[in-house]
Chain A
Amino acid sequence: MTKDQRIKKRHRAEARFKLYGLLSIILALTFVGFLVFTIFSKGSDAFSKTTIKVNVSFNAEILSLPSNPSLEDIQDADYYDLALESINKLLLTSNPDDEKLLKKLFSPDFDLEIKNYLVKNPDLINQTQDINLTSSDDIDQLFKGNFPRDIPEDRRQVNDRQLEIFDELVAQDKIQKKFNNYFFTNGDSRDPELAGIGASLLGSFFSVVICLILSFPIAILASIYLEEFAPKNKITDFIEININNLAAVPSIVYGLLGLGILLGFMNFPRSTPLVAGITLALMTLPRIIIPCRASLKAVPPSIREGALAVGASKFQSVFHHVVPLSLPGTLSGTIIGLAQALGETAPLILIGMVAFVVDIPGSPIDPASSLPAQVYLWSESAERGFVEKTSATIMILLTFLIVMNFIAVYLRQKFEKKWN
């Protein structure tokens, strides 16, 4: 082979390598784009709900309210009959079969919605008001265009007569899309139109806060001691190797630990953010210690020597110079560790955080779910309405993760000091 051929071959090899690299990046971006597109196209519907406009007359007699009712009276009254009467007015002719079918177009809590409306506006007694009541899941999907109308009637949840009523209501402009506040404020429910991420959002929040409170100070102190003060000997090496190993332990093992020790031995309450937070903290500790140590190590030894040489003690050189300089790396490492904890599902399954939680938790010792566990739960449900809810929850979770990662990058860039 001549020299020229050899050089040509070398250039070709480089060009080939660049091409492969470019192709892998394009492929990776395609996958990410595909994932984001699927999630967004499925999930965006969950942020709106379908409502049916109903004219309600708050008749004090039907509600059997006393004259000048107190707020308690209004709260205690039975709204079911009033609600039925109001929605039946949507039909032109009174027909018991139709009324039964009509009721199924609404979410099962439709009387509660009327009650809540009156509780908020108690002046409306003996007056009439148009209220947008939440529709049932099927009508919701029908209006959003996700419901197959053309399959045989006996295989549909919505029969032909109901479709007729629905079309009539659409023609009267009584069916509308509204912002789905239930998705954020409600806990879980068997009815997709009423199910929300409130319980899991708060559960995740409490868990991550507890995880932060426990893991951050311990991880920082441990890494400072190991990096700056610990004598370099076999015991330190042993601890270091074990921390690295612990960071690689599958997260479900930490779930087993939480189940065995926190729930089994110490009798902590099941499926609570407290237990989840402690378990996640155990899992996150080594994952924070590693970047913390790396950022301490990255501070040049000349800074330590400079401080020691003017007579600073070891403690002063570490806490006046090394720790502040390592802060950007330390903080971003912590945030990324917490982001991992936020998205962790496996250990939570074992400690019972994958529970059907209807009530919004008020404190870390109330039963709660968590965002990734909620995704897991809903992805297994049969109703069509849960498909969009699953994707929407993933969107919320991804939003939090992206925000946290941006904060990490921002902190690192803002506080990074350049030497020389």
Chain B
Amino acid sequence: MKERKIKIKTENLEVYYGEKQALFDVNLEIHEKEVTALIGPSGCGKSTFIRCINRMNDVIDICKIKGSIEIDGKNINHKSIDVVRLREKVGMVFQKPNPFPKSIYDNIAYGPKIHGITKNKGELDNLIENSLRKAALWNEVKDRLHEPGTSLSGGQQQRLCIARAISVNPEIILMDEPCSALDPIATAKIEELIDELRETYTIIIVTHSMAQAVRVSQKTGFFHLGKLIEFGTTEKMFKNPSNNMTQDYITGRFG
């Protein structure tokens, strides 16, 4: 497999919540149009890490970030980067499906509307259809676009949230344990979807399921206690990890 272009690069990334240090010296390169899975026990800093990439941690007053995160070679924490533009480029899907308590249509229309992506209603309708198709939800909801998004099932809600993230044409999609609240069938659908989305987007997925990491990702990173222990291709990681701790974790001896 040929090496793709580097999309995200972190150097000496350290994150503090007040006095407590959550990430220690994380150096990572994430390649374009690949799925990178982040695994590790709870509280190891995986979610903290991906929340740095779209600067979601800005919301938390006590959070301090040191080191650099570059997307396409630009430091995203630089003053010249507008966080709104950054988040347009870096979409996010959360652990618990969080559709707005509005119609399915409005849920997806919100992003394009605030960014002024479409010029008229026809374009917006097309964009919504495309987003829903890409999220493999169109066939299920095309006849009830004006019903509330919260009336969908858990798996459908999560795909709606993926469609919402896609609607603003991001380059990167961050997924924070997107399947942890879903049943196995809904999980399978989302995993299938992630595999398709890989052709268009760079995806980082945080997961607790080793099996899921194997199924969907090309690269895997293992975090433990805020440190990146090992990073490499998923195949090598799960067949022949170079670190003993990784070995112990993926075989279920701790975590």
- Mark A residues whose CB is within 8 Å of B: 231-232, 300, 302-313, 316, 320-321, 325, 417-420
Evaluate contact between A303 and B100: CB separation under 8 angstroms: yes
* A152, B88: Cα distance in complex, Å: 93
Q: Give the complex CA separation of A325 and B115 in angstroms.
A: 22
CB of A308 within 8 A of CB of B87, answer yes
How many angstroms from the CA of A361 to the CA of B56 in the assembled complex? 57
| From B94, B100, B161, contact of A321 by CB (8 A) | B100
Residues 85-105 of B, flagged 1 when their CB comes within 8 A of A and 0 if not, give 101100111101111110000
Q: Tell me the minimal C-beta distance from A328 to chain B in angstroms.
A: 12
| Complex interface: chain A residues within 8 A of B92 (CB) | 305, 309
Residues of B within 8 A of A320 (CB): 110, 114
**Residues on A with beta carbons closer than 8 Å to the beta carbon of B93:** 309
Q: B101 to A419, Cβ gap below 8 A?
A: yes
Q: Evaluate contact between B56 and A310: CB separation under 8 angstroms.
A: no
Question: Does B6 sit at the interface, judged by CB under 8 A?
Answer: no
Supply 7 A–B pairs (Cβ within 8 Å), ascending by A. Answer: A304-B59, A305-B94, A307-B110, A309-B94, A310-B111, A312-B111, A420-B157
Given contacts A310-B87, A310-B165, A417-B101, contact A302 B94 (CB under 8 A): yes
Given contacts A302-B98, A420-B97, 19 further A-B contacts (CB under 8 A): A300-B98, A305-B59, A307-B100, A307-B110, A308-B87, A309-B54, A309-B165, A310-B87, A310-B88, A310-B91, A310-B111, A310-B164, A310-B165, A310-B167, A310-B168, A311-B87, A311-B88, A312-B110, A418-B150
Kindly state whether residue B84 has any CB partner on chain A within 8 Å. yes
6 nearest CB pairs, A to B: A302-B98, A310-B111, A311-B88, A309-B92, A417-B101, A311-B87
Q: Which residues of chain A have C-beta atoms less than 8 A from B100's C-beta?
A: 303, 306-307, 321
Instruction: For A321, list chain B residues within 8 Å (CB).
Output: 100
With both beta carbons as reference points, the residue of chain B lying nearest to A312 in the complex is identified as B114
Q: Is the CB of B114 within 8 A of A316?
A: yes
Provide the bound-state CA to CA distance between A185 and B59, in Å.
58
Q: With A and B bound together, what is the CA distance between A325 and B99 in angstroms?
A: 13
Pairwise interchain contact B114-A306, C-beta atoms closer than 8 A: no
**B residues 159-215 in Cβ contact with A at 8 Å:** 161, 164-165, 167-168
For residue A242, give the distance in angstroms from its CB to the closest CB of chain B: 21
Interface status of B61 (Cβ within 8 A of chain A): yes
Closest A residue to B107 by CB, please name it.
A306
How far apart are the CA atoms of A231 and B60 in the complex, in Å?
A: 10
Given the complex of chains A and B, what is the CA–CA distance between A247 and B32 in angstroms? 56
Contact B61 A311 (CB under 8 A): no
Task: Provide the residues of chain A in CB contact with B87, threshold 8 Å.
Answer: 308-311
